[in-house]
């Protein structure tokens, strides 16, 4: 018998309770022993919940119960969640988390602590919701030197962009629709400004390249400045605008990570990832390109990933899972300013002025454009070069093109 | 130090040697100990190979060497490979295989033997080449009851279909091109007649549903009858023709597995999988739909999957990986004849005759069709119903539509 305590009975926490219950027999078979829900920690009362007998409101009940083997942390944030995670690990309990903020900011410390205590700290659900990605990246691709991990890491922004592309909604209209459908928070800034994707690319970079990468080191741009004009121009040349997180291993072992919108070619499988779906692609020196696709958020999909980790630990609670990375160091991070791209540019001016400023360009057209507007694709250059060339122009948008 | 012996120095076997060598330092870090190539078994001589000191031609050298921990079987087929796999497991060595034929026909027996001997039998490379799919399916999705696994499981046929769709080549022309590019064998029948995909769906079905499914129980249809006319009609209504393997869990716990071409809607991520790429999708009761995408064949991608398994075992050679399924039983298999589909039909005749035979239909058109030809999509029905309704017609093609 393996006993589980869930911290936080929100969307994900209640989903974990539901999955452990509805798939109980299968989970017992696969884990090789009964996986029982013993406690749920929440400050609120749930008198009508089917799990009402599990609720406690003092973490020390869980911390001090030697029967609890696995603590599921679905509180979110990096304050209470950090404290409880440290205490659970110190008490010799394995911890499974869906909390990307905590992993991205304190993952190194918590993995060290778990290793010291001979327990596991797993967080498959922190990236890509239900999509298996962290374990495949670290286990199945263990024979590869990875050169890049990239992905559509945030379902809210992908939904908004899909609705702009497919239904011609403005950013504001699409955001409103996403909020009405429960795909976006009342305060959507963590999603639309790219911070959520930033935390996820930090975790992916740490697993792929073996060093902690902190969110502060990752230049992050969201989708608030994307207009329907940009969507139309992108469409006219066979591209879709997607918010990507990317982490690349550079020559000399440095890591370059950033979050920004990109024009993605329709031939690229990432371009076909629509609505709230996520996809994470990786490039290895043996496997080439692989991609993982599925629901990147939601109650049951995220709970699926949490329960996958729980089962993995429950198979043998005495055998901690190796899942380490080294300390981060700001010196190992390289700015994306030195990467080269083709760029999509929209500006006020004439095509002649654009040509004399930027050199060879591919002009783009859209119906209903004001006479003062030009848009074009540049040749390959760094952001610094582009900025210098565009210095004299009234630039409305400049977006990287994924080659 | 963990010692590896490779059986068979063909494409995959030599790829495994190359990956173990080129990524040696990374593999040592990830496995926690040196993973050394000690032997390569082949009947041929390779005097110029960088691994020339490893070659042996008597399997008993490997079998009797207590220093060999892991045997990599890349011989193929189910004769010699079966004998050597049994002997390696009996000698207390873990076995990693890329051999789908052996796993599909003898997987149950070999997994039982591995469990008895306290060693591992892993075969990630047997399905989807380098794509991580078997381990994610069994580990990351362990919290799910799976209802279906489906996929584009054969790169050769997907390349041929892609070239028919994209370049307008006939089946024969596309097959010739695939052979010239090394994507198809001189004798392509195992690929184009669907047998390769059949073995892979058997392995996926066993892992997803927990019982061995033998290839003989799986109705299998290849792509040799697909014409450019079918490709054009499919395209006219927003579909692409793909060869899919599918395994479904039916009411009452039976399993329905089959291989056949399908018209796949362009909105389905499987439709975007082109050339030699493979993709495997799974549906779980918590996660919903997930998909894994990448190179389904080739020297280094397949070796990547083999080495991933090797590293997994090398982390702790004394801890066998749980990876079991139960014996198969022909009674648990249900024929796909009882599944319902919309159907694409091409026939000689008139649309009126088609309508009076089949009922409500959606007519299709293509440029250059002979006056005698009709094509249409039917309403949803079983194969049996369709066959009965079409009995009086001169049917040229009838292909399932994936809803």
Cβ–Cβ < 8 Å for B134, B324: no
Candidates A283, A246, A281, A240; CA nearest to A264 is A240
Asked whether the beta carbons of residue A284 and residue B304 sit closer than 8 angstroms, the reply is: yes
Mean pLDDT of A94-102: 98
> Nearest residue of B to residue A125 by CA position?
B140
- Residue A318 neighbours by CB under 8 Å, 6+ apart: none
Q: Which residues in chain A have their CB less than 8 angstroms from residue B311's CB?
A: 139, 142-143
Mean pLDDT of B51-70: 97
Cβ–Cβ < 8 Å for A110, A85: yes
- pLDDT at A322 exceeding the cut of 80: no
Residue B203 has, within 13 A of its CA and on its CB side, a CA count of 32
Burial of A49-63, coded b for 16+ CB within 10 Å and e otherwise, reads eebeebbeeebeebb
How far does the CA of residue B35 sit from the closest CA of chain A (Å)? 11
How far does the CA of residue A274 sit from the closest CA of chain B (Å)? 9
Q: Are strands B340-348 and B373-378 parallel, antiparallel or unpaired?
A: antiparallel
B221-262 pLDDT tens trace: 999 999 999 999 999 999 999 999 999 999 889 999 999 999
Q: Which of A272, A301, A312 sits opposite B287 (nearest CB)?
A: A301
For tokens 């089946």, name the residue: B171
Angle between helices B155-167 and B228-236 (to 10 degrees): 70
CA B343 – CA B267 distance, rounded (Å): 18
- pLDDT at A275 exceeding the cut of 80: yes
Integer CA distances (angstroms), B313 to A72, B4, B84, B153, in order = 27, 11, 19, 26
**Residue B323's pLDDT band (cuts 50, 70, 90):** confident
Cβ–Cβ < 8 Å for A304, B141: yes
Set A100, A200, A249, A389: catalytic member: A200
**Residue B324's pLDDT band (cuts 50, 70, 90):** confident
B1-24 pLDDT tens trace: 999 999 999 999 999 999 999 999
CA B46 – CA B66 distance, rounded (Å): 25
Phi and psi, residue B37, nearest 5°? -85, 115
- pLDDT at A104 exceeding the cut of 90: yes
Assess whether A321 carries a catalytic annotation. Answer: no
CA A350 – CA A124 distance, rounded (Å): 50
DSSP letter string over A197-244? HHHHHHHHHHHHHSB---GGGS-B--STT--HHHHHHHHHTTEEEEEE
ipTM: 0.93
Round the average pLDDT of chain B to a whole number and report it. 96
Q: Which of A140, A289, A304 sits opposite B141 (nearest CB)?
A: A304
Q: For A125-139, A278-292, A319-333, B127-141, which range has the lowest pLDDT when averaged over its residues?
A: A319-333
State the Cα torsion A105-A108-A113-A119 to the nearest 10°.
Answer: 100
**pLDDT score for B365:** 96
Compute CA A231 distance to the chain's CA centroid, rounded to the nearest angstrom.
23
B270-305 pLDDT tens trace: 999 999 999 999 999 999 999 999 999 899 999 999
Please name every residue paired with B96 in a beta bridge, in sequence order, or none if there are none. B72, B122
- Residue B42 neighbours by CB under 8 Å, 6+ apart: B8, B9, B13, B55, B57
- pLDDT at A321 exceeding the cut of 90: no
**Residue B122's pLDDT band (cuts 50, 70, 90):** very high
Q: Which residues in chain A have their CB less than 8 angstroms from residue B272's CB?
A: 269, 272
CA A245 – CA A249 distance, rounded (Å): 14
DSSP reduced 3-state for B56: strand
How far does the CA of residue A122 sit from the closest CA of chain B (Å)? 11
Q: Which of B23, B290, B312 sits opposite A132 (nearest CB)?
A: B290
Say which DSSP state B251 is in: G
């Amino acid at each position: 018998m393996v006993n589980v305590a869930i911290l936080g009975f929100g969307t994900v926490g209640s989903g974990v309770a539901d999955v452990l219950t509805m798939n109980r027999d299968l989970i017992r078979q696969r884990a090789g022993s009964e996986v029982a829900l013993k406690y749920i920690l929440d400050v609120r009362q749930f008198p009508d919940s089917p799990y009402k007998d599990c609720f406690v409101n003092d973490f020390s009940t869980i911390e001090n119960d030697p029967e609890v083997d696995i603590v599921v942390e679905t509180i979110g944030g990096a304050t209470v969640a950090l404290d409880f995670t440290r205490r659970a690990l110190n008490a010799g309990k394995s911890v499974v988390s869906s909390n990307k903020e905590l992993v991205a900011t304190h993952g190194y410390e918590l993995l060290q602590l778990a290793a010291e205590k001979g327990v596991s700290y797993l967080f498959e659900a922190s990236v890509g919701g239900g999509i298996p990605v962290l374990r495949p990246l670290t286990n199945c691709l263990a024979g590869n030197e990875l050169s890049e991990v990239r992905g559509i890491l945030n379902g809210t922004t992908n939904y908004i962009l899909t609705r702009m592309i497919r239904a011609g909604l403005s950013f504001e209209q699409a955001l409103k629709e996403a909020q009405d459908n429960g795909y976006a928070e009342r305060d959507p800034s963590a999603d639309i400004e790219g911070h959520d994707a930033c935390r996820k690319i930090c975790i992916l970079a740490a697993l792929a390249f073996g060093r902690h990468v902190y969110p502060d080191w990752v230049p992050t741009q969201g989708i608030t400045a994307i207009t329907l004009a940009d969507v139309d121009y992108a469409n006219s040349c066979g591209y879709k605008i997607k918010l990507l997180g990317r982490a690349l291993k550079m020559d000399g072992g440095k890591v370059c990570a950033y979050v920004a919108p990109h024009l993605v070619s329709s031939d690229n499988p990432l371009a076909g990832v629509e609505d709230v779906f996520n996809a994470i692609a990786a490039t290895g020196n043996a496997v080439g390109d692989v991609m993982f696709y599925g629901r990147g958020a939601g109650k049951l999909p995220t709970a699926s990933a949490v329960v996958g980790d729980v089962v993995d630990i429950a198979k043998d609670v005495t055998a901690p899972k190796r899942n380490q990375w080294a300390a981060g160091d700001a010196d190992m991070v390289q700015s994306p300013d030195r990467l080269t791209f083709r760029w999509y540019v929209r500006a006020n001016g004439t095509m002649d002025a654009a040509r004399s400023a930027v050199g060879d360009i591919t002009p783009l057209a859209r119906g209903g454009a004001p006479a003062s507007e030009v848009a074009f694709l540049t040749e390959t250059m760094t952001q610094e070069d582009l900025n210098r060339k565009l210095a004299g122009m009234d630039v409305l948008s400049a977006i990287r093109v994924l080659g």
